[in-house]
Amino acid sequence: MRTVIRSMVAVVVIIVALVAWRLLPLWTGPALPDGATRLSIVTASPHLSFGCAAAMMSPVRVATSGDDLILVAVESGNTIPAIWPAGFAAWWVDGRAVVADPWGTVIGRDGDVLDSLGGGDGADGAFAICPFGIVAADRP
């Protein structure tokens, strides 16, 4: 009987460790690539909610302003204040600005138009981007 209980405890510990390992990037973000310099973006605090506001952001272009990665409305050219989901990060690498999700998948590079961002109102009128449904960049 003790062996069965120990086995069950071991399985539970392994499952919890695997889930924690998979969710860790929500707190740490992706690793900075070799030769990259971090850019500043505003991110939401980590949480395990699977819900988002259901508004779509108008198409925006990825750009930089100093050491900040910004989003610029394609239609108006205005900067759109945004709150990226927890764990997202931005950096300069190989002369280009990049924004990536917590697991390192590139979402966009400077000059790319992002037209699949959803979310809703965040703090101070910024658009809180939903982490679900974001289409990753398809070119290096």
What are the angstrom distances between the C-alpha of 71 and each of 23, 76, 126? 26, 12, 11
- Name the pLDDT band for 22 (thresholds 50, 70, 90): low
Give the 3-state secondary structure of residue 13.
helix
Among candidates 96, 69, 66, which has minimal Cα distance to 80?
69
Going by their DSSP bridges, the two strands 60-65 and 68-73 should be labelled as antiparallel
Q: Which residues pair with 91 in a beta bridge?
A: 38, 98
Of the given ranges (36-45, 62-71, 125-134), which has the lowest mean pLDDT? 125-134
pLDDT at 21 exceeding the cut of 70:
no
Tokens of 127: 């658009």
The residue ranking higher by pLDDT, 129 or 14, is 129
Residues 73, 129, 89, 114, CA torsion sign: negative
The burial of 39, by beta-carbon neighbours within 10 Å (0-12 exposed, 13-18 middle, 19 or more buried), is given as buried
